[in-house]
Amino acid sequence: MEKSLDCLYCQRNELQKSLMIEICDLRVSTLFLFKEQSYKGRCVVAYKDHVNELFELSDEERNLFMADVVKVAAAMKRTFSPVKINYGAYSDKLAHLHFHLVPKYENGLSFGGTFEMNPGKIYLSDEEYSQIIKELVSNL
């Protein structure tokens, strides 16, 4: 498994832990809960190896990764009942293949537009994060 010494997702360093909580490993990726919860249930699915683009994966790897993304999105829909789930895979400043899965709610933040990367508005208690994770995992 290829890792990068300066990658947030490869190193699982303190910066990464300040932004998200590791939930579990999926078939070819890791699921994280984004700590900033302006979009209730927002998660990140990060590929297990250090690649930056979908086209760097074989067809099989890409299909397995996208199956992980879909599995999480379906669990988010069952758990949080958003109107829509937005998918973001920017990686401009962080060269590691990952998708932000952002539930959107009618009359909620950024509904009808692009989600904010880190609004910095809503943070939860450890107990509240644990409850969201428990509910999400039960629907995976």
- Element at 49 (helix H, strand E): none
**Per-residue pLDDT tens over the stretch 2-17:** 677 678 888 888 888 9
What is the pTM for the complete model shown? 0.93
Q: Is there a domain that residue 104 lies in?
A: yes
State both tokens at 81: 């009942």
Q: Is there a domain that residue 110 lies in?
A: yes
Q: Is there a domain that residue 1 lies in?
A: no
Q: Is there a domain that residue 3 lies in?
A: no
CATH number where 24 lies: 3.30.428.10
pLDDT at 1: 54
Q: Which residues of 69-84 are buried (b: 16+ CB within 10 A; e: fewer)?
A: bebbbebbbebbebee
Q: Which domain holds residue 103?
A: 8-138
Q: Is there a domain that residue 2 lies in?
A: no
**Per-residue pLDDT tens over the stretch 43-68:** 999 999 999 999 999 999 999 999 99
pLDDT at residue 90 is higher than 90: no
